[in-house]
Chain A
Amino acid sequence: MKPVTIKVNGKSVRAREGEMLAAALLRAGIRVFRRSPQGQPRSLFCGMGTCFECLVKADGRWVRSCITPVKEGMEVEVEEG
């Protein structure tokens, strides 16, 4: 897989072309992808596009990161905290 660089909350993260965004985030040490209504940390869960726990913003659109392939220069926003 070809190496690519994406931006996560403004920081450069190395990834591999064609892999799913969720995999790249996990390898970069990002464990929390979003917060639930009660503020609990959530992350990759079903890995197949069913549960919506892995929602992040990529290039301005909400996507399920487990079924979204990374692209060179992709700008990702992950809810932190």
Chain B
Amino acid sequence: MKRAKPQEIKTKALIIGGGIAGLAAATVLEDHGEDYILVDEYPFMGGQYLRHREEYIPRDTETRKQGFALLEKLKGKENIWTSSLVFGCYNGNGEKAVAVSKDGRVFLIKPEKIIVATGAREKFLPFPGWTLPGILSVGAVQALVKTSGTLPGKEGIFAGTGPFLLAAAYEYEKAGGRVLGIFELNPLAKLLKFLPHALDKEKFKEALRYLRLLWSRMKFGWKVERAEAEGEKIKVVMSKGRARKTLVGDFLATGYGFSPNTEAAQICGCEVEYKPELGGFVVKTGEDLNCGDGVYACGEVTGIGGARKSLIEGKIAALSLLGKKDEKLLNQRKRELAFARSLNFVFSVPRDLWKKIPDDTIICRCEDVRMGDIKKVVEEGFSFLRELKETTRITMGNCQGRTCFPIVTEYLRAMGKKPEPMSIRPPLKPVETGIFVEGGET
């Protein structure tokens, strides 16, 4: 079927991503009377931090209060587009044209400047069985609870690393679920040694609230060995040194921190750099969050640091775009970055664990590529990521490497190789847009 020519729209600024960073940027532009469009691929605004049903909105921390105030302020505006995915960016005549798919239609937005605020995704340490139905990311459990008011099961097991495990388990139990156990990969001694320096009052209070409910069910230094289906249930074998523990629950939630969504920034011309202390490959910017060529980046894409960092950075990026600077915000950002570095360090995955992933474990979920397939190519002395892709098909599936690329990066690093960024080509998320796929949308 023939497609109509995409509609072209000119604007001063395009903001990609309506999480707390994008919303903060939009509010600054709004306050300065600037013309802008904000797009987000989700059917709602707010991103990961503010994705709540209207009947269930917690205002427990200052950051959350401010976040919901931003959402409220921008609600119902015509220049705020939901269910709108940025899938390409084309350069021509010194102009950028950003391709957006919305309700099966394509729009070409021609902005003078772009702010990328596309957030982050979860990272994983694969184990045999992690692809089974009933094994979800920690974020998926939280999203079911917060956005859809649904529990993934009556009794759940949480395993991985990071404070997010605790936050999601807390929300799941408050919504009526039962947490059987929370298995933190890192030993308690390491957390106690470094965490107290990293926490401020707001974060300390939040952590205490979670711990009061869940402390007795928290275990430290445990790793997922494997998982199996047992009827409709999930059996999980955990290990700590030689000790083993088997648990059976309705689901297992797993997650190992976050990795920035740099793809949209990359197609807009930004460079990325590998910074493990900030979560992996991050978008390269100056202190003013300028990436050059009229593109700015803010929030989790510049380094994993949580909602408050994103809020501050959204404001900084929008001010930079307007040619302004606020020293106070720049100093706040420095503090957030220091916090981010200690958090990513404390809740990291010990390097040798990447090498210990069993050969039969699936690494690329889209193409069913296993650890053994990857090891073989690496042991044969491959030198570029490209070769690994071509021989094993990792990163070539529907998700374009969003899940397996951070895993492969950590494995290669553990094997002593230098992390290489993935080359990104439009269209981003082609299956969904259906536009370029055989048998896809008409």
Which positions in A face B, CB cutoff 8 Å? Answer: 1, 16, 18-20, 22-24, 26-27, 31-33, 36-38, 40-53, 55, 60-64, 66-69
Tell me if A47 and B136 are in contact (CB < 8 A): yes
Interface membership of B48, Cβ < 8 A: yes
When A43-B133, A52-B398 are in contact, do A23 and B140 touch as well, CB less than 8 Å? no
**Binary per-residue interface labels of chain B (387-421) against chain A in the complex, 1 for a CB within 8 Å, 0 otherwise:** 00000000001110011000000000000000000
Q: Which 7 A-B pairs have the closest CB atoms?
A: A47-B140, A43-B133, A23-B148, A52-B398, A19-B148, A23-B150, A47-B143
Contact of A36 among B131, B150, B434 (CB under 8 A): B131
Over the window 409-442 of chain B, the binary record of Cβ atoms lying under 8 Å from chain A Cβ atoms (1 yes, 0 no) is 0000000000000000000000110100000110
Which B residue sits closest to A41, measured CB to CB?
B133
Once the chains are docked, how many angstroms separate the CA of A38 from the CA of B368?
7
Task: Answer yes or no: B132 CB below 8 A from chain A CBs.
Answer: yes
**Contact A67/B365 with A40-B131, A41-B133 known, Cβ cut-off 8 Å:** no
The distance in angstroms between the C-alpha atoms of A23 and B43, with both chains bound, is: 15
Q: Is the CB of B43 within 8 A of A51?
A: no
Pick the contact of A46: B133, B149, B367, B403 (CB < 8 A). Answer: B403
Contact of A50 among B43, B149, B368, B403 (CB under 8 A): B403
B43 touches A69 (CB 8 A): yes
B288 at the interface (CB under 8 A from A): no
B327 surroundings in chain A (CB, below 8 A): none
Q: Are A45 and B136 in contact (CB under 8 A)?
A: yes
A20–B121 CB distance below 8 A:
no
Beta-carbon contact of A62 and B441 below 8 Å: yes
B152 neighbours in A (Cβ, 8 Å): 26, 44
B147 within 8 A of A: yes
Minimal beta-carbon separation of B439 from chain A (angstroms): 9
Among A26, A32, A37, chain B packs the most CB atoms within 10 A around the CB of: A26
Most buried by A among B142, B367, B399, B440: B399
In the bound assembly, the distance between CA atoms of A33 and B132 in angstroms comes to: 11
Residues of B with C-beta under 8 A to A47:
136-137, 139-144
A51 with B403: in contact, given A31-B134, A44-B136 (CB under 8 Å)?
yes
Residues of B contacting A18 with CB < 8 Å?
53
- A36-B368, A61-B104, A67-B43 known; A43 vs B134 contact (CB < 8 Å): yes
B18 to chain A, nearest CB (A): 13
Partner of A40, one of B140, B368, B397: B368
CA distance A27 to B141 in the complex (A): 13
Bound CA span A21–B149, Å: 12
For B132, the chain A residues whose CB sits under 8 A away are 41
